[in-house]
Amino acid sequence: MTRTKITIRTNGPIKVEGDFEIVDPEGNPYGLGDRTVAFLCRCGQSSNRPLCDGTHKTCGFVDPGLARDLSTPR
């Protein structure tokens, strides 16, 4: 099994690589056609949410997506 890697792209989507499944709120899987890479929308403007359609390039979405330490979970 390939380890899943999630990359937050500067001013762009979330890239998911490896062995993964994307499901809706009811647990139904999206048909990803054996893809091992998917791009998830971060700008909220994609017409294909939760997948990215490139709209972030024209809607003014800006976020460097830099790593930081998170607080300890409660």
Instruction: Tell me the CATH number at 17.
Output: 3.40.5.90
What domain count does the chain have?
Answer: 1
Q: How many helices (H) and strands (E) does the chain have?
A: 0, 3
The pLDDT confidence band at residue 1, using thresholds 50, 70 and 90, is low
Q: Does residue 74 lie within any of the structural domains?
A: no
Residue 54: pLDDT over 80: yes
Identify the CA nearest to 1 among candidates 18, 25, 15, 21.
18
Which position has the higher pLDDT, 1 or 70?
A: 70
Evaluate whether residue 70 is within a structural domain.
no
Mean pLDDT, to the nearest integer, of 4-32?
Answer: 96
- 1 lies in which domain range? 1-65
Asked whether residue 31 is domain-assigned, the answer is yes
As a whole number of angstroms, the distance between CA 63 and CA 46 comes to 16
User: pLDDT class for 74, splitting at 50, 70, 90?
Assistant: confident
The beta-strand segments (E) located in 1-74 are: 5-8, 14-17, 37-40
51: tokens are 């997948």
Has residue 15 been placed in a domain? yes
